[in-house]
């Protein structure tokens, strides 16, 4: 492995994308603990909205696994039936994170929403833990549609799906065959199948992929003999000294937003068109600033991962 390859691999370990790659690349990556039991009080990583009612729920998919979810309903719903949204993802995340925030935000806008932990993840059932099974996880979305369609507050003829990040593909998979769903959105989706096969930026060679499959295949004999699956050692443990940009730093995040705000202010003054101009037309200033800051962070991460220089004409 070259120095460049080693640096890129180390960088990947420090990012959430690295966590996804590690988790989805094998069936044996994390703790074999059973589905977590979480408290009944507010346990999310985002503030609770005063305009939304929240309820923890469970439902079963057709594989017999019990899924855990959070149901969000607008307090101003009266007696009318609501359009509804199923929200799932990102891969490896739980409903107390981004899917729950998406769901609560859309409930504030008048939808009945359900954020759920897919099979093998979070509070939902299934073993081994923290794995991806395309057929079962596709079914998870349809099972969530089952649940919403039977809820008295939901108009079952107006159900949509939001799939986030790696789970965007699972959402599209489900909607391709489940015609009860009237709309689907994949947010920041990436091709999990290609990433798991070829690596990020197609960096995995055929020889490397063949070696991995050989190792995983032979590991099955070890697991069968032990009557339990083995789990890979922790992949994304920070060793210290990593760049704060990758570890997470509220100060740097504020700087990105401040910089984005300045760019947007200049764009408004100069009435610029293009991506920034379109963003300002569609979003409120603060939302646009965060979107631009996120885009800047993604560009920076990509340049670091590829060890390339920024090329404005290609951005």
Query: CATH number of the domain that 199 lies in?
Result: 3.40.50.1820
Q: Which domain holds residue 61?
A: 1-237
Q: Between 103 and 43, where is the model more confident?
A: 103
**140 with 284, same domain?**
no
Q: Which tokens sit at 230? A: 């083995």
Q: Alpha-carbon distance 109 to 114, whole Å? A: 14
**226 with 292, same domain?**
no
Q: Which tokens sit at 152? A: 């008295």
Residue that finishes a domain, picked among 237, 257, 288: 237
Q: What is the pLDDT of residues 105-128, one digit of tens each?
A: 999 999 999 999 999 999 999 988
What pLDDT score was predicted for residue 117?
96
Residue that finishes a domain, picked among 237, 270, 301: 237
Whether residue 248 is predicted with pLDDT greater than 70 in this model: the reply is no
What pLDDT score was predicted for residue 31?
36
Residue 140 near residue 134, CB atoms below 8 Å:
no
**181 with 288, same domain?**
no
Q: At what angle do helices 285-306 and 3-13 cross, to 10 degrees?
A: 150
Number of domains in the chain: 2
pTM score: 0.65
What pLDDT score was predicted for residue 40?
55
Q: Which tokens sit at 154? A: 């939901």
What pLDDT score was predicted for residue 308?
77
What pLDDT score was predicted for residue 33?
38
Q: Which residues contact 244 (CB under 8 A, 6 or more apart)?
A: 252
Residue 250 φ then ψ, to 5°: -65, -35
**81 with 176, same domain?**
yes
Q: What is the pLDDT of residues 207-231, one digit of tens each?
A: 999 998 999 899 999 999 998 888 7
Whether residue 306 is predicted with pLDDT greater than 80 in this model: the reply is no
Q: Name the band, by pLDDT with cuts 50, 70 and 90, for residue 191.
A: confident
**139 with 259, same domain?**
no
**91 with 225, same domain?**
yes
Q: How many Cα atoms sit within 13 Å of 155 on the Cβ side? A: 12
**115 with 256, same domain?**
no
**146 with 285, same domain?**
no
């Amino acid at each position: 492995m070259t120095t460049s390859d080693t640096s890129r691999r180390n960088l990947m370990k420090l990012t959430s994308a690295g966590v996804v790659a590690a988790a989805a690349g094998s069936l044996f990556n994390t703790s074999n603990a059973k589905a977590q039991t979480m408290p009944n009080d507010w346990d999310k990583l985002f503030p609770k909205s005063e305009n939304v009612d929240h309820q923890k729920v469970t439902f079963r998919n057709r594989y017999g696994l019990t899924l855990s979810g959070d149901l969000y309903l607008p307090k101003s719903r009266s007696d009318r039936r609501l359009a509804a949204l199923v929200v799932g993802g990102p891969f490896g995340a739980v409903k107390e994170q981004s899917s729950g925030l998406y769901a609560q935000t859309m409930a504030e806008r008048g939808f009945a929403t359900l954020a759920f932990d897919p099979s093998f993840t979070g509070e939902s059932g299934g073993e081994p833990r923290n794995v991806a099974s395309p057929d079962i996880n596709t079914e998870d979305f349809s099972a969530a549609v089952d649940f919403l369609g039977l809820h008295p507050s939901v108009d079952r003829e107006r159900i949509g799906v939001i799939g986030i990040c790696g789970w965007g593909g699972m959402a599209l998979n489900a909607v391709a065959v489940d015609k009860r769903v009237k709309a689907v959105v994949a947010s920041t989706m990436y091709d999990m199948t290609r990433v798991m096969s070829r690596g990020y930026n197609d960096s995995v060679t055929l020889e490397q992929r063949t070696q991995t499959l050989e190792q995983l295949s032979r590991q099955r004999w070890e697991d069968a003999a032990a009557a339990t699956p083995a789990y890979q050692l922790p992949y994304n443990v920070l060793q210290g000294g990593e760049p704060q940009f990758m570890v997470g730093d509220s100060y740097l995040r504020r700087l990105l937003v401040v910089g984005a705000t300045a760019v947007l202010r200049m764009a408004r003054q100069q009435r610029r068109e293009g991506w920034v101009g379109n963003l300002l037309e569609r979003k409120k200033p603060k939302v646009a600033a965060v979107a631009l800051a996120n885009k800047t962070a993604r560009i920076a991460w990509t340049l670091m991962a590829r060890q390339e220089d920024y090329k404005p004409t290609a951005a």
